[in-house]
Structure 1
Amino acid sequence: MNKEMIQKQTFPVTGMTCAACASSVETILTHTDGVQSAAVNFATNTVQVEYDQSTNPDLLNEALTAIGYGLIINSKDINESIENEQDKKYQDVKKRTIWSAILTLPIFIIGMFFMDWEPGKWISLTLSIPVLFFFGKSFYINAWKQTKHGKANMDTLVALSTGIAFLFSLFNTFFPEFWTSKGLVPHVYYEAATVIITFISFGKMLEEKAKSNTSSALKKLIGLQPKTLTLITDHGEKSIPIKEVQVGDKILVKPGEKVPVDGKVSSGSTFIDEGMISGEPIPVEKTIGNPVFAGTINQKGSFQFIAEKVGESTLLSQIIQRVQEAQGSKAPVQKLVDKIASIFVPTVLGIAILTFIIWMAFGGESAFTHALLTSIAVLVIACPCALGLATPTAIMVGMGKGAENNILIRDAESLELGHRVNTVILDKTGTITEGKPSIKSIEWLNGNSDESSILLALESQSEHPLATAVVSFLQENQSKSISLESFESVTGQGVKAQYQGKSYFVGNLRLLENFKLSLSTEWNSKAKKWEQEAQTVVYFGNEEGLIAMIGIQDQIKASSKAAIKQLHEMGIEVHMLTGDNPHTADSVAKEVGIKQFKAEVLPSDKSEYVKILQSQGKIVAMVGDGINDSEALAQADVSIAMGHGSDIAMDVAKITLITSDLQKVPQAFNLSKLTVNGIKQNLFWAFIYNLIGIPIAAGILYPINGFLLDPMIAGSAMAMSSVSVVANSLRLKGRKI
């Protein structure tokens, strides 16, 4: 088929709630006439479809509508549509959870403390109908979808147990004489059904909240690109929307503005903050012929450049696209409870049916009564309240414990996976180091700093980014600025000025040489030593000679070395990635005890590095703080952002360290281990009651001592398992991480 006849389009999908839904959408679309391929991105609730002229978006939407899903096809801004859809979904789940909780509270109070109050069961019936069949309808819908595909998950177990508990209670409410005539008490279980719906809804709400953060990260990345730009035409300057810019256009960028698209400088010079690409805190000097990139920030000078890449081909657009792909490429982990439920549901159903059959065959005169009671008791005692609480209660306590220790966890999956991490990648700038240039060394040639006020005056007027570090240092040391007689900026070298008839300067080695000055052997070796220690050397002097030499460095955090040592002791490999030069990278790596590192890496290089380690079977955690880390953070199994970093890094990452103390990373892994152990213990408590209770509920003791488990006692046993789970989760609060 002619490739020009094939269209590729991305649509937001409505109605998806789980991995099985994503699989269903993909399958239906793939088998629709005219569709060549369909790929669902569950993280962003979108599907990319390739289709020919024999079909169209309306027909694709019809195919999905038939099975309960849909496409948003009339949207100009797909990212806005995705965000709106996710926010709408979260608000819907939140509203249903809150109303479920409000209506469940009186049902719970009546069921637990006023169970013999006759009007209580009618009040409970009235309140439970909206909880189950309006606010909780999604569980029944999803369970039906799962059943149609021959699968069972937590929704199946919730729908089955709550539905049976409600129907049994409904029968007992309207026909109590059926049981009273047999000498039995007609108990109702409305509280059991509604409590389950409320608790599981709360867990779904937390999931949707975490998921909605995906779009906010992408929105902030997209927001880095300005909406308009200044075009240079034959008739002067003209402001146009960024969508109208063409390759070859000449664009003006003023101080403080963001570069709108990729290109090359055609006139002017400036310093540009390229931290989003390199992660480095020092802006880069740009002169004619140098490349500039969309989203980077112009500092103090105006310049013009020729557009070379626009739209989706810019580096920023590629970063956005790769973040989306990385977030979607990780298939949602099938929850442990879903795996258990897929076995547990048919097993319990089988036991209940077998119990009914055996009692009908061998029950004697009361065969039907005993068969009905025992089979219902089996289903009630197997009710998944404890199973539903096992994971969310442990995770909620774990998240709370993390927050107390300045570790904010927004994603349950990361908390569950953290203890399995065996490889950690650390960004250098802002993660291992402070991310702020400061004075590391300063040497005065004559041993005193009498002329520091002249140095302060020079650097106060300098546009160079490193000047701020010198000014801050001198002001802290009580130096006072003076008035200079003249001032001149020397492009690419530094600054110079006149004071009391002498020419003073501060800048690099080239400026020193322009004053026909040279370094002595001693000072030359000292400068080289500083450079090997990853210091940027700045020279201060006048026409007569050198006055001082200053070493500026991004300081290593006090906690970095101890944190890296702790990670090594935990058996975790530590790697370092940086956009900085190899000399600086080597120096920092040696100082903190890292053997594996890579320098001069771009954002895409970082995410590729993560993929390579993952392909070797490693569970990778990425720790970063910048926009340039966002791709790698999205790709990693566990993503951790430093608290002082960019909003985008914190949005993409699932764990944020408020204090930016690297020692919180091993603490986060320890917290994960304790939480996962708590989940496993909870699952034990959730099932131990079933292992003991189901055979008793089925009537295994009846031939021995005539004991039959009343469904009400079965309900109490179920409640006890829930209490055990909650109590065990709360134990984590007292643990040290």
Structure 2
Amino acid sequence: MDSHENIKTISIPVLGMTCAGCAVSVESMIGAQEGVKQAAVNYATQKVSVTYDQEATKPENFQKAVQSVGYDLILDTEKGDELQEEVQAGAYNSLKKRTIISGILALPVVMIGMFFMDMPYANYMMMVLTAPIVFYFGKSFFINAYKQAQHSKANMDTLVALSTGIAFLFSLFNTFFPEFWHHRGLHPHVYYEAAAVVIVFIMLGKLLEERAKSNTSSAIKKLIGLQPKTVLLITDQGEKEISIADVKRGDQILVRSGEKIAVDGKVYEGSSYVDESMITGEPVAILKREADKVFAGTINQKGSFRFIAEKVGSETMLAQIIKLVQEAQGSKAPVQKLVDKIAGIFVPIVMLIAVVTLGVWLLLGGENAFSQGMLAMVTVLVIACPCALGLATPTAIMVGIGRGAENGILIKDADALESGYKVDAIVLDKTGTITEGKPEVTELIWVEGPAAALALYKQIFLAMEQNSEHPLAAAIVDELKKQSITAALITNFESLTGKGVSADYDSQLYWAGSHKLLSGQTISSELEQRAQSLQAKAQTVIYFFDESRVLAVAAIADKIKQASKSAVAALQKQGITVYMLTGDNQQTAAAVAGEVGIDRFQAEVLPSDKADFIKQLQSEGKVVAMIGDGINDSQALAQANLSIAMGRGSDIAIDVAKITLMSSDLEQVPKALLLSKKTVQTIRQNLFWAFIYNLIGIPIAAGLLYPFNGFLLNPMIAGAAMALSSVSVVSNSLRLKFASLIS
């Protein structure tokens, strides 16, 4: 066997990652295994992609490697995603319970430590309440820190474990042996409240972060759900129901009315209208006849037909959409990576400063060198605890998401907020985004005549359209019913495939359909002129006529939303280039683009074409936002730097998109981009507040001022400063609630 054939790439769900530093640890542990060519962890999707030599190693070795540093892999290829979801949901619920209980226990500790420290047995009460917070509810910090230390690694868990562990043990010593300090002229302070509050704040930060990055895999599950589980296979013995997994190329398959098409193929018998909106995005169903192609996931309407399977399994267009969505989602990183990069440098530096602080005190501290050195070391670790750092991003995200929701802007995660303010190109889908996404009668023009005759014509027209299977018929039915018309009793109704319908009423023959049906019927010059004008605007024209003349002309179109033109103008005013992509024909696309003021557009594009167009813009250095509403937009939405879905669009589009406009109003897009900018500014300000206390406090905590004025920072004050940094971060995030979203 050729060595190249032994190389395999697999995607494995990872459990236990809480920061980008964790992702680096997992990558390095797997990458160090013999036979591994490449290991790449995607923190957003919580998966690792491994390219390895099958003869040199196996996935079980990867699992052992990551387990040694406190993480785990799910190797079940069939149910891996489901198991990962279950484990993550369980971990989230467990963290939520631990945070709530820890908070309840920490409250009396803080009250006693701050206001009632002189009450009898105060230290013992705080000790009893703090011990379960630190060593039971917060035990994961210590376990993870120990596993990291075994491999000479450190992360934020290391700093949390050190600061809280030392603070608790130091307080424990002072509780039982206060005389040690009394003999040296020092008061035996305890810092139980600092240890308890640190644990609670860090767990709260992790909880908020988990909420912000939830629901990452449901879009793929919904796409997969578009495929039916079984199909009707046509055999020599008759029809046979088989699993979709057993369908092979060349199989003959029957599709009945209302069923989903299972695989890609070609019709060889029968005809029907098929809803292909998940492929084209267009609301009008397509007539499928012999030799026409059909696609997996599309929905057959009223008729039935037989087709030959041509592409099955991973070859189908739906499977390709699923694959492209997965790849595009997997290529993104959250804003939290900035915080984790800083933390990766911050943690070892703080640990080094704490050790150096103790060492310097032992060398130069004089009579009380050890006691004051210990105090200084604990103070450094307490004041440097990364609580505010853990809250900096998720609090801003949560407030930003809430602010957006108040304005009808549903923001899914931090990535949207990181990308939004950088956008300089926006790609709009036409149907359902610029337009309403539903065919409606724009004009219904009747010949002049007696009121009674016109009333009868309307009843006949309604009856014929009610019997028609054509998708546009529903628009005419809706329009006539708005006028309180009732259907006449027609006979000999006939569907004329690809042209229209005909029927008898009172021995008189009537037709309704396209221009192809007109053959010598008289049409008034006014009606003809109006029909030509409507067709020039890319509207579909339906003619209603009898044996002698045209009685009515109905124009049907997907109406442009009221706010579309002003929204496009507002985006262009911000310096953003606006593009329109649609699966519709060139004439319709040009008419819509011209009406809303878009100069750059492409027509008759497929889902992969949309994604490729966005890739092209990105290769030119543009930061691209995609706005769409259909399943056909899902891979383009996933490919874009920022994806925005219409709230009335498909579940898949909404699920893939990072931002959803709940009102489907394009004027919300400029607001969403401004909210993104202000949220990112808030996150950066939060990071400043998270560090400013450390930059000022750590040197003072280490004893920098002691040689000059004898000042040594009390760990109690250090704990207060740490809490103050967290309050500053949360308060700054809350300012977003009152930020203006009008540029």
**TM-score interval w.r.t. the shorter chain?**
over 0.9
Residue 215 (structure 1) shift: 1.7
Question: Which residue of 638, 641, 644 maps to 1:640?
Answer: 644
Task: Verify: 1:533 aligned to 2:537, yes or no.
Answer: yes
Residue 383 (structure 1) shift: 2.6
**Mapping of 1:203-242 within 5 angstroms?**
203-242=205-244
Structure 2 counterpart of 1:534, which letter? A
SS of the counterpart of 1:335?
Answer: helix
Structure 1 counterpart of 2:499, which letter? Q
Cα separation, partners in 2 of 1:413 and 1:181, compared to 1, 3 Å: farther
What's 2:287 paired with? 285
Cα separation, partners in 2 of 1:421 and 1:605, compared to 1, 3 Å: same
Cα separation, partners in 2 of 1:582 and 1:126, compared to 1, 3 Å: farther
Task: Verify: 1:732 aligned to 2:736, yes or no.
Answer: yes
Q: TM-score, normalised to structure 1's length?
A: 0.92
Structure 1 counterpart of 2:220, which letter? L
**Mapping of 1:85-100 within 5 angstroms?**
85-100=87-102
- Residues 423, 619 of structure 1: 8 Å contact kept: yes
- Residues 30, 37 of structure 1: 8 Å contact kept: yes
User: CA offsets per residue over residues 288-319 of structure 1, 9 Å max, x none?
Assistant: 11111111111111111111111111111111
SS of the counterpart of 1:266?
Answer: strand
Greater Cα shift, 257-266 or 119-128: 119-128
What's 1:621 paired with? 625
Cα separation, partners in 2 of 1:251 and 1:66, compared to 1, 3 Å: same
- Residues 456, 470 of structure 1: 8 Å contact kept: yes
SS of the counterpart of 1:280?
Answer: coil
What's 1:461 paired with? 467
What's 1:372 paired with? 374
- Residues 397, 729 of structure 1: 8 Å contact kept: yes
- Residues 209, 394 of structure 2: 8 Å contact kept: no
SS of the counterpart of 2:518?
Answer: helix
Greater Cα shift, 503-512 or 80-89: 80-89
Residue 279 (structure 1) shift: 1.0
What's 2:477 paired with? 471
- Aligned positions, number: 735
Query: How far apart in 1 are the matches of 2:175 and 2:419?
Result: 46
What's 2:344 paired with? 342
- Residues 420, 642 of structure 2: 8 Å contact kept: yes
Query: How far apart in 1 are the matches of 2:151 and 2:629?
Result: 43
Structure 2 counterpart of 1:304, which letter? R
Residue 492 (structure 1) shift: 0.8
What's 2:386 paired with? 384
What's 2:195 paired with? 193
Query: How far apart in 1 are the matches of 2:558 and 2:122?
Result: 69
Greater Cα shift, 451-460 or 209-218: 209-218
What's 1:481 paired with? 487
Query: How far apart in 1 are the matches of 2:721 and 2:18?
Result: 31
Question: Which residue of 169, 172, 177 maps to 1:170?
Answer: 172
Query: How far apart in 1 are the matches of 2:155 and 2:599?
Result: 45
**Mapping of 1:571-720 within 5 angstroms?**
571-720=575-724
Residue 322 (structure 1) shift: 1.2
Question: Which residue of 110, 113, 117 maps to 1:111?
Answer: 113
Cα separation, partners in 2 of 1:156 and 1:288, compared to 1, 3 Å: same
Greater Cα shift, 441-450 or 311-320: 441-450
SS of the counterpart of 1:264?
Answer: strand
Cα separation, partners in 2 of 1:357 and 1:466, compared to 1, 3 Å: same
Task: Verify: 1:256 aligned to 2:258, yes or no.
Answer: yes
User: CA offsets per residue over residues 180-236 of structure 1, 9 Å max, x none?
Assistant: 333433333333333333333333334434544122111111111011111111111
Structure 1: gaps of 5 or more residues: none
Query: How far apart in 2 are the matches of 1:98 and 1:213?
Result: 23
- Residues 411, 659 of structure 2: 8 Å contact kept: yes
Query: How far apart in 2 are the matches of 1:666 and 1:259?
Result: 39
Structure 2: gaps of 5 or more residues: none
SS of the counterpart of 1:131?
Answer: helix
SS of the counterpart of 2:290?
Answer: coil
Residue 63 (structure 1) shift: 4.2
Cα separation, partners in 2 of 1:623 and 1:372, compared to 1, 3 Å: same
Greater Cα shift, 256-265 or 177-186: 177-186
Residue 464 (structure 1) shift: 0.9
Cα separation, partners in 2 of 1:226 and 1:124, compared to 1, 3 Å: farther
Query: How far apart in 2 are the matches of 1:73 and 1:162?
Result: 36
Cα separation, partners in 2 of 1:51 and 1:677, compared to 1, 3 Å: same
Structure 2 counterpart of 1:254, which letter? R
What's 2:420 paired with? 418
Residue 653 (structure 1) shift: 1.6
Structure 2 counterpart of 1:453, which letter? Q
Greater Cα shift, 727-736 or 556-565: 727-736
Residue 9 (structure 1) shift: 4.5
Query: How far apart in 2 are the matches of 1:199 and 1:518?
Result: 81
User: CA offsets per residue over residues 101-129 of structure 1, 9 Å max, x none?
Assistant: 34434433433443334544334334434
**Mapping of 1:38-117 within 5 angstroms?**
38-42=39-43, 43-117=45-119
Question: Which residue of 289, 298, 303 maps to 2:300?
Answer: 298
SS of the counterpart of 2:260?
Answer: coil
Query: How far apart in 1 are the matches of 2:32 and 2:152?
Result: 19
Q: Considering only aligned residues, what root-mean-square deviation do their CA atoms show, in Å?
A: 2.7
What's 1:13 paired with? 14
Residue 548 (structure 1) shift: 1.4
- Residues 44, 328 of structure 1: 8 Å contact kept: no
Task: Verify: 1:363 aligned to 2:365, yes or no.
Answer: yes
Question: Which residue of 181, 199, 217 maps to 2:183?
Answer: 181
Structure 1 counterpart of 2:160, which letter? V
Question: Taking every aligned residue pair, what percent have the same amino acid on both sides?
Answer: 59
SS of the counterpart of 2:610?
Answer: helix
Query: How far apart in 2 are the matches of 1:471 and 1:571?
Result: 44
Structure 1 counterpart of 2:729, which letter? V
